[in-house]
Amino acid sequence: MKNVTVLNPSVLTLGFGEMTEIKYLYAVISLIFYILIIFCNVTVISTISLQKRLHEPMYTFIAALCINGLFGSSAFFPNLFFNLLQERQTISYIGCLTQIYCIHMYMGWELTILAAMGFDRYVSICRPLRYHSIMSMKMVLKLVIAACLYNFILFSTHFALTVRLPLCDSVILKIYCDNWSVVRLSCIDTTLNNIYGISITVAFIGFMPVLIMASYIKILIVCLQSSKATREKALQTCSPHLITLINYMFDVLFEIILHRYKPSMLSYEVRVAMSVQFLTLPPLLNPLIYGLKCREIRVRITQLFQKKSKTRIS
């Protein structure tokens, strides 16, 4: 049996590689991205919170999506920014585990919230007369709690399986910590982790989109049998959700592809771009998509800024 040296390092080295050559430029870019994400998401969340007319199920889910975007980006950008300002790009083992937990919870919540939004759109279009009785705020709260618990239970088990692993290396190939990057540093057999990891992927990437597509198939059937006005309403309310879902699924697909192939087979720039898309694009684009496509949010945001401008002038 081959002897292995268990390190269990307290500090892990991140794979910034060629980024360090122009690290200050990347630091500025990451800071700009983070500020934009905070501004866009906080604007949408504040608008929905302050405007009573937006206290409806659909807008509550949009606010939850924006809150999750802030949560996920905050688990990534601050550490990225400060690491780019350092001579050595490292992260403590505890910090790495914390980042893993936050990023994976963000990934799961994003998809479960989108699934809840798909159900909301189904009820709105296919059961319009019963919409307010079905989609009460009590039901919305139940859906949000169920989305959180579903994600919490599935990933907490996966996380516990990772924490138990002894590590024989301290170099992570990515610029942030994720579950697989730590598992591949282990000295022992990780078959259990791999099997459970595949199960979670199916539970999220397989099951949730199927639920959403089932809702949209029923919506499509109703639209084909309805008037032009109904079809236009469906398109107006469903298009932001579909754009958000497609954007997120493509970004996650890139991340899965990166796991499936050896990182050394891809250029460094491609690896970095593929590995950070799901952490940068959805949190930035989601509030922009809903802010631009949803007329009610767009109008309320304009009114909110106009009100603030008048207050300052007076």
116-126 per-position pLDDT tens digit: 999 998 998 88
8 A C-beta contact, residue 19 and residue 175: yes
Taking each helix axis from N to C end, the angle separating 137-163 and 93-126, rounded to the nearest 10 degrees, works out to: 150
Does residue 49 carry a pLDDT above 80? yes
In sequence order, the 6+-apart residues with CB closer than 8 A to the CB of 251 are: 277, 278, 281, 282
Class of residue 53 by CB neighbours under 10 A (exposed 0-12, middle 13-18, buried 19+):
exposed
**What CA–CA distance (Å, rounded) separates 243 from 289?**
8
Tens digit of each residue's pLDDT (9 = 90 or more) over 72-106: 999 999 999 999 998 888 999 999 999 999 999 99
Residue 6 falls within a domain, yes or no?
A: no
In sequence order, the 6+-apart residues with CB closer than 8 A to the CB of 12 are: 90, 91, 92, 93, 96, 170, 171, 172, 177
CATH of the domain at 301: 1.20.1070.10
Residue 1 falls within a domain, yes or no?
A: no
Q: Which of 191, 110, 98, 104 is nearest to 154 (CA)?
A: 104
Class of residue 2 by CB neighbours under 10 A (exposed 0-12, middle 13-18, buried 19+):
exposed
What domain range includes position 279? 11-313
Q: What is the pTM of this model?
A: 0.88
Tens digit of each residue's pLDDT (9 = 90 or more) over 111-168: 999 999 999 989 988 888 899 899 998 999 899 888 889 899 989 998 999 999 888 8
DSSP state of 172: -
What pLDDT does residue 44 have? 92
Residue 53 falls within a domain, yes or no?
A: yes
**What CA–CA distance (Å, rounded) separates 243 from 178?**
26
Residue 2 falls within a domain, yes or no?
A: no
8 A C-beta contact, residue 78 and residue 279: no
Residue 203 falls within a domain, yes or no?
A: yes
Number of domains in the chain: 1
Residue 37 falls within a domain, yes or no?
A: yes
